[in-house]
Amino acid sequence: MKAQDIILEPIMTEKSYAGIPNKVYTFKVATSANKIEIRKAVEELFEVQVARVNTINCKGKTRTRNTKSGQVTGKTSDYKKAVVFLKPESKTIAFFDSLN
């Protein structure tokens, strides 16, 4: 798998913003990717040194909406989240610096 196929998008929440000064970044990643693949992909894409990676499998939420024909129930997609911790001597990721 290519690095672009592993790292899908950054996750922007209040908790992820709080980690940026400590060089902790959160990404949505491919569900089939493991920690080693995620580490190599982040190091390749952003040219940084990764200390460790934590992963979480997030289940999709059930959503219900009312329509003319009655209630319709659906589900959002399941996804995998990776929390990436950089080494203290590593440079920061430029994309996140502009947000802080």
pTM: predicted TM-score of the whole model, two decimal places:
0.87
Q: Which two tokens stand for residue 89?
A: 């001597």
Q: Which domains does the chain possess?
A: 3-97 (3.30.70.330)
- The predicted structure's pLDDT at residue 100: 63
Q: How far is CA 97 from CA 17, 20, 23, 55, in A?
A: 10, 8, 10, 23
Strand 24-29 to strand 79-86: parallel, antiparallel, or no bridges (unpaired)?
A: antiparallel
What one-character DSSP code corresponds to residue 61? P
In angstroms, rounded to a whole number, what is the distance separating the alpha carbons of residues 18 and 41? 23
Residue pLDDT, tens place only, 45-59: 999 999 999 999 999
In angstroms, rounded to a whole number, what is the distance separating the alpha carbons of residues 3 and 15? 25
